[in-house]
């Protein structure tokens, strides 16, 4: 299909967001960018556009290959977007998920409120 579609709807259609309202919220928070500039949820995308998605501590880059109006199965997504994210970003995500930065000694108990804030800031430095 040719033409244009809203970025929030596109993110939902290609399964980058679980719901359309989550996609809209990502746009409103400035986590979706075209050429480094945050976009509104109503921004139209067309084939050939490249955008970045700042999510879970990494910056993922995608290129729009084709436009679609409805949500597609996971196996069909590769025909509509191309993942241009460098491997270094995925390595950074793996490091965040391995928990290599937080070590709690046995017997120290649960983190205090202050320690929890520090841990949360380390997980998502953008907020």
**78 and 107, same domain (yes or no):** no
Total Cβ atoms within 10 A of residue 64: 21
**80 and 95, same domain (yes or no):** no
**64 and 11, same domain (yes or no):** yes
**21 and 78, same domain (yes or no):** yes
The structural domain count of the chain equals 2
Distance, CA of 57 to CA of 2 (rounded, Å): 33
Residues of the domain holding 119: 86-127
Q: pLDDT of 37-47, one tens digit each?
A: 999 999 999 99
Question: With 60 as the cut, is the pLDDT of residue 84 above it?
Answer: yes
Tokens of 121: 């800031």
**7 and 37, same domain (yes or no):** yes
Tokens of 28: 């409103």
Mean residue pLDDT across the chain: 86
- The model carries a pTM of 0.71
What are residue 82's phi and psi, to 5 degrees?
-120, 130
**94 and 58, same domain (yes or no):** no
More confident residue, 107 or 2: 107
At residue 66 the predicted structure's pLDDT band, cuts being 50, 70 and 90, is very high
């Amino acid at each position: 299909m040719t033409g244009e579609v809203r970025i929030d709807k596109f993110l939902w259609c290609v399964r980058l967001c679980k719901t359309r309202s989550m996609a809209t919220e990502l746009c409103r928070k400035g986590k979706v960018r075209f050429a480094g500039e945050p976009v509104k949820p109503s921004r139209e995308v067309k084939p050939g556009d490249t955008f970045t998605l700042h999510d879970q501590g990494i910056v993922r880059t995608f290129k729009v290959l084709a436009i679609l109006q409805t949500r597609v199965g996971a196996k069909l997504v590769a025909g509509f977007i191309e993942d241009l994210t460098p491997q270094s970003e995925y390595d950074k995500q793996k490091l965040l998920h391995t928990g290599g930065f937080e070590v709690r000694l046995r017997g120290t108990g649960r983190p205090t409120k202050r320690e929890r804030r520090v841990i949360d800031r380390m997980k998502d430095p953008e907020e």
